[in-house]
Amino acid sequence: MPTAGEKPYRVYRGGRTKGKVPLERKDHRQRRSFRADGGGPRKVVERRHRRLPRRRTVLLAIAGLILLFVIWALAGYLSVSSGMHKANARLPQGVRSVLAPDSGLLYTTPTNILLLGTDHASGNGRAADQHSDSMTLLRTEPGRHRLVYVSIPRDLLTSIPGQGVDEKINAAMQIGGASLAIRTVDGLLGKLLKVNHVVIVDFSQFEKLIDAIGGITVNVPENILSDRFDCPYASPARCQQWQGWRFHKGPTHMTGHQALIFSRIRVNRLDSSWTDFARQHDQQLVEQATLAKLASPSLFFKLPFEGSSLLAPISTDLSTWQLLQLSWVKFRSSTGNTLHCRLGGTSTTIGGEDVIEPSSDDINVIAEVLGTSAPQPPTPGNLYAPGCLVGSSGNWK
């Protein structure tokens, strides 16, 4: 009972409270359902959503991307490997026996690769011509992160083994194929620059190759206006009004057809000093740009199913593994450190043929290539002077 003076009930202050009436919060991590167990009232069964932790989800996504990357890279490797196997099979017999053995792995040891370019386009009267239109020695120097290109003029007089007299160096391939060309270059450059590998490029098939790799970028040495060859128009009247092919100085992205036209220009109507030496240099620029694209690591990921057809214009002794090593050396090399060298001499005429008599300065060029002498540019005023330039373009103008 209540004591004296105490009210028998409690007084509560009434009135509405501002704001919403608090309700029972729903647990979004739970879901309720009812089921009967067959012998009594329904029971509440609580079920929880099973979510993967965010960290685990991220790790699974990363693992999936890595797996996709590995599969794609493997497909690219196998495709390019198939193309390289066919390129090895196209290499003429007897070539491997004249190549100097490697002194180590390509990505750790200096290696000399001879690039031979031929052009047997139909309709130009040279379908059976086996002369080497361009000859370039690519020397890789992984320790210096440097690539060295040595241009050899096709009209340079030299001693061809077994011939007894000096002839144009490009005649070596006509006489004895790639094996004799390699032996001739070995005799010209000396024992310290022996050829370890060879890549033979057929320019008449270059168009499809360059298109397949997405085109190439060539640093055009000067403004060019060619003569009227390979007119792009069907009408003879329009071809008469057409001035010729134009290329502007500087980095230029080229399709396969444009690169092929660029490599075949024999006359520059904007430059009276233009010689066949310049055409050979342009061919070498196309070769170098294409080889750089082929040796790019991106090739194995962009074109995993076209490796076989991609390498159709090429014959080589390089294996797929060596091509990968070359890709790494190319990736590590500095563009601004690239060395462009050329042999040369004096232009003259012998027996009605234009030839280049070698210069004693060619010995200095070999020393510059080997790094025992500082690079020296060609002597001004002599279009065929030997020398070396440092940089990405190798512009002799």
| Listed range (165-179, 187-201, 296-310) with the worst mean pLDDT | 296-310
Share of the chain above pLDDT 70, in %: 78
For 58-67, the pLDDT digits (tens) are 888 888 888 8
Residues 6+ apart with CB under 8 A from 180: 160, 161, 162, 172, 173
Statement: residue 29 has pLDDT above 70: no
pLDDT at 99 over 90: yes
Domain assignment of residue 315, given as a range: 67-207+278-390
Looking at residues 77-82, what average pLDDT do you find?
78
- Could you give the angle at which helices 54-90 and 320-332 cross, rounded to 10 degrees? 120
Asked if the structure places residue 233 within a domain, the reply is no
| C-alpha closest to that of 150 among 389, 397, 392, 315 | 389
Say whether pTM exceeds 0.85.
no
pLDDT given at position 254: 94
Contact criterion met (CB below 8 Å) for 313 and 89: no
Question: What is the number of structural domains in the chain?
Answer: 1
Please report whether residue 375 resides in a domain. yes
* Residue 317 lies inside a defined structural domain of this protein: yes
What is the model's pLDDT at position 368?
94
CATH number where 295 lies = 3.30.420.590
363-391 per-position pLDDT tens digit? 999 999 999 999 999 888 777 889 998 87
Average pLDDT over residues 254-260: 91
pLDDT at 301 exceeding the cut of 90: no
Rounded mean pLDDT, 125-140: 70
Do residues 92 and 315 lie in contact, with contact meaning Cβ atoms separated by under 8 Å?
Answer: yes
**Is residue 284 one of the residues assigned to a domain?**
yes
**Residue range 122-131: average pLDDT?**
47
In a domain, 138, yes or no: yes
List pLDDT tens digits, range 332-366.
887 788 898 999 998 888 888 888 999 999 999 99
What would the mean pLDDT of 28-50 be, rounded to a whole number? 52
In the block, which residue shows the tokens 């790019």? 296
What residues pair up with 64 in beta bridges, in sequence order?
A: none
